[in-house]
Amino acid sequence: MRIQIINGPNLNLLGIREPEIYGKRAWEDYLKELRARFPKVRIDYFQSNLEGELINKIHEVGFDRDGIILNAGAYTHTSIAILDALKSVSTPTVEVHISNVYQREDFRRRSIISPGCVGFIGGFGLDSYRLAVEALIDNAARAKAE
Ligand code: DQA
């Protein structure tokens, strides 16, 4: 099984950026733990602050992975282009957020990309990514059984 994590803008600063919201843990440290927890799953990782690069990555991996975990950062709330990219590929995508976007500013309550995703996980800190891996494993098992 092969899963692609894609993190969008400002998520390269995890551990430093607004730690009261996003936590103090460095991403690389968390990713190491995540990979160790799922030894049978290959977890690839990509981060970019640029919308077009996120779209190119979705196109690149969108036909041959078992799942994409996408935290599109603020592009979640603005990007029709990312929504269109998700709709253009066949790999199921889980939308992930570290914070509970519904407890925050009004503009974060609207996700433009959700209609292109199989599901949504948010509000559990970095553990949201682990929950998304679990969801994609179950999703793949279900698809195989059908
Ligand atoms: C975020 C929530 C977004 O609203 C914000 O712009 C981010 C991070 C999250 O993981 O909680 O950059 O996607």
pLDDT per residue as tens digits for the range 58-87:
999 999 999 999 999 999 999 999 999 999
97 in catalytic set = yes
Can you give the pLDDT at residue 118? 97
Confidence class for position 142, pLDDT limits 50, 70, 90: confident
Span 120-144, average pLDDT = 95
Distance 77 CA to ligand 1 centre (A): 9
Q: List, for residues 4-31, the tens digit of each pLDDT value.
A: 999 999 999 999 999 999 999 999 999 9
Closest CA to 79 of 45, 41, 112: 112
CATH number (domain holding residue 124): 3.40.50.9100
Range(s) of the domain holding residue 19? 2-145
Residues 17, 21, 27, 30, Cα dihedral to 10°: 160
Domain count for the chain, please give it.
1
Is the CB of residue 54 below 6 angstroms from any atom belonging to ligand 1? no
Residues 20 and 59: beta-carbon distance below 8 Å: no
pTM of the model: 0.97
Return the structure tokens found at 61. 């991996």
- CA dist 118 and 136 (Å) reads 9
Q: Does the pLDDT at position 112 exceed 90?
A: yes
- The active-site residue out of 30, 59, 75, 97 is 97
Cα of 76 to ligand 1 centre, how many Å? 8
**12 in ligand 1 pocket by Cβ < 6 Å?**
no
- Measure 66 CA to ligand 1 centroid, in angstroms: 24
| Structural tokens at position 77 | 């709330």
The whole-number average pLDDT for the span 33-45 is 98
Q: Residue-wise over 3-37: b if at least 16 C-beta within 10 A, else e?
A: bbbbbbbebeebbeeeeeebbeeebeebeeebeee
Dmax (CA) of the chain = 44
CA distance readout (Å), 127 to 1, 23, 146:
20, 11, 29
pLDDT at 8: 98
Rounded to whole angstroms, how far apart are CA atoms 92 and 90? 6
CB atoms within 10 A of CB 93: 28
Is the pLDDT reported for residue 146 higher than 90?
A: no
Check if 73 has its Cβ closer than 6 Å to any atom of ligand 1.
yes
Ligand 1 contacts CB of residue 74 (under 6 A):
yes
* Res 132 pLDDT > 90: yes
